[in-house]
Structure 1
């Protein structure tokens, strides 16, 4: 059985979700898959420093995170940063690759790109390498000439990569890997036109306080609406919303979820999503053909994701939360606006194909059969 090695890392949930979706996809196509968190497997101290540091920065010091994100996107600065990370990870990553001897390596986190790229460049390994870009604009950390294929979320992303010198032949905008449930509808009939306008309100693990502020504004809408609020693992938030908002308004139906695996089904019955624009959430909304309204972002990559949605007409960015009531009322009272956004989203989803990712894997394996003589399995890194 052909073996695939997938590397991820726990800086935000999107990288792990993409890795899990790839694992499911490849296993269903007959592959043996090993999925590992690269930082946890190789350097727990570095993992704690990076993962915890990321969470603290985006929650407590978002402006600082934005500046660090932009600074690290500069080629010279990025080179120095990736050199340090590579130094910490390189030997153990090489040992893991030697142990599992995969036919293809896939990374859903950019920290692995330079590590594996360097091993390929030096002839330590001769294994096809796929990098999955989990946001909608490329960051310098993803750029390496030894990557054999990039999986991206859109043609917009592809253009930003080509601007950085990545050959277009290596870039496949088949969509960021997401669960198969997002590609099928859970309802047989179209939503009854008499149903209330339905809003799916989410926020991910970051921005829970902002979510409550949004809800406070939504209940002031002059229209009948249904609000499905997903609070994740924040039990206190869920209880607070239930006590404060449920059954308090005659023309507002409010349904509250904690952590749930029913997001695909909830998207099917919703007219719009209000959420922060994480790369995976954006991909899921595109696959489900549901426009997004964006009242909060993690500075850096999510600002770029929001720009992508606005630029393509698939989303609306709300600069101030107090404006969201007017935005929603405008969409309800002018349904042609929502129809136009859905039309724009359909254009984006035309190239989405998880099976095409499998075809890339197959293609790289076949091509590599004629290039394995340079692979020195027993060579030790000096």
Structure 2
């Protein structure tokens, strides 16, 4: 039986939502009767809402305190956010439903859960609605709407937070964080060695928006260790140009600077250590690639608990102060890289390599009403 799945995602608020969606697409076989239609939720609200989505990058790059304020207001007033977005997207969303005729709706962005559920409820449309949480620990109240048929959680920590928000335990499924297959390393015996004449390969990245003190981290590494450093500046073109000007002239071919790249998995798989902020998507891609992570910071709000989460599970270490980079790396390398290799082992045991497959199968197993073309939609 053919199944149409409508995914509400985002193209502009980081790259994690798109990556999650792509990981689910990968699970669809050529002969499958599954059809997935993806829409950027912000595009449903016209220019006003789309510009809000596009502002994520500039705000998180240059004004973390403003981002924290936005996050806190949204967390305190979730119904206000839901009602505002409902008003902006209602007409286009109802038209989309009539066009796609979905058997199930999956939301991977918190801003559209309550708003879409409001619309479905008021229009008396019965379609299974499932939320896939894209954060790890400190989740928005917007992720936890009691009206959703199910909430898929990547971690027990996020599940516990949902329960705090009043979601029944039986409506929450902990299935792991979905990662695209190309990030997984097929080497169960991988180990890192660091000896004279064998440079350490380091990767510095900070999510799709390129935030963080990459220059200072790179200088600490290049001045104190026999290493090669690759830096991913993401969409931040000004940062890329600045790093090229300041680092390439001093360190030559020991450092390479990249902008936004679709081949980030190749950079991860060729690295011994990755330096990143606490972005859940980047963290889990590095864990899938079996690369120990040094977490250098996190966005306030949804990412702030992620570094401690990773360190507690021994998936990486925290180093918020760039002055501590040298000592942190020395500790990882001492005793023939004992700590690094311990992290590699823990990552292999921790990651669910079948998370995307498990999630898609769960979606296909959900039973619900088939979509009935609307005849009484109210667009007013």
TM tier, shorter chain? 0.7 to 0.9
- Structure 2 distance, partners of 1:192, 1:154, is 28
List per-residue Cα deviations over 1:290-319 (Å, max 9, x = no partner): 222122322221213223223323232222
Query: Is the contact between residue 200 and residue 228 of structure 2 (CA under 8 Å) also seen in structure 1?
Result: yes
* Residue of structure 2 in register with 1:172 after alignment: 173
TM-score when scaled to structure 2?
Answer: 0.86
The correspondence for 1:41, drawn from 35, 39, 44, is 44
Q: CA deviation at 1:234?
A: 4.7
Q: CA deviation at 1:256?
A: 3.5
- Structure 1 distance, partners of 2:42, 2:256, is 38
Residues 1:160 and 1:34: Cα distance change in structure 2 (over 3 Å): same
- Structure 2 distance, partners of 1:189, 1:309, is 22
Q: CA deviation at 1:275?
A: 1.1
Residues 1:344 and 1:33: Cα distance change in structure 2 (over 3 Å): same
Number of positions where the alignment pairs a residue of Structure 1 with one of Structure 2: 371
The correspondence for 1:72, drawn from 66, 71, 74, is 74
Residues 1:121 and 1:145: Cα distance change in structure 2 (over 3 Å): farther
List per-residue Cα deviations over 1:120-157 (Å, max 9, x = no partner): 44462222222121111221011112222323322222
Unaligned runs of 5+ residues in structure 2 are: none
- Structure 1 distance, partners of 2:238, 2:59, is 23
Residues 1:326 and 1:192: Cα distance change in structure 2 (over 3 Å): closer
Unaligned runs of 5+ residues in structure 1 are: none
The answer to whether 1:377 aligns with 2:364 is no
- Structure 2 distance, partners of 1:11, 1:249, is 33
Q: Structure 1 residue runs of 4+, over 6 Å off?
A: none
- Structure 1 distance, partners of 2:74, 2:257, is 39
The correspondence for 2:220, drawn from 212, 217, 222, is 217
> Which has the higher mean CA deviation after the structures are superposed, 212-221 or 120-129?
120-129
SS of the aligned residue for 1:35 comes to: strand
Q: CA deviation at 1:184?
A: 4.3
Residues 1:163 and 1:311: Cα distance change in structure 2 (over 3 Å): farther
The answer to whether 1:115 aligns with 2:115 is yes
List per-residue Cα deviations over 1:172-194 (Å, max 9, x = no partner): 33333332212343x79846745
- Structure 2 distance, partners of 1:232, 1:170, is 37
- Structure 2 distance, partners of 1:289, 1:80, is 41
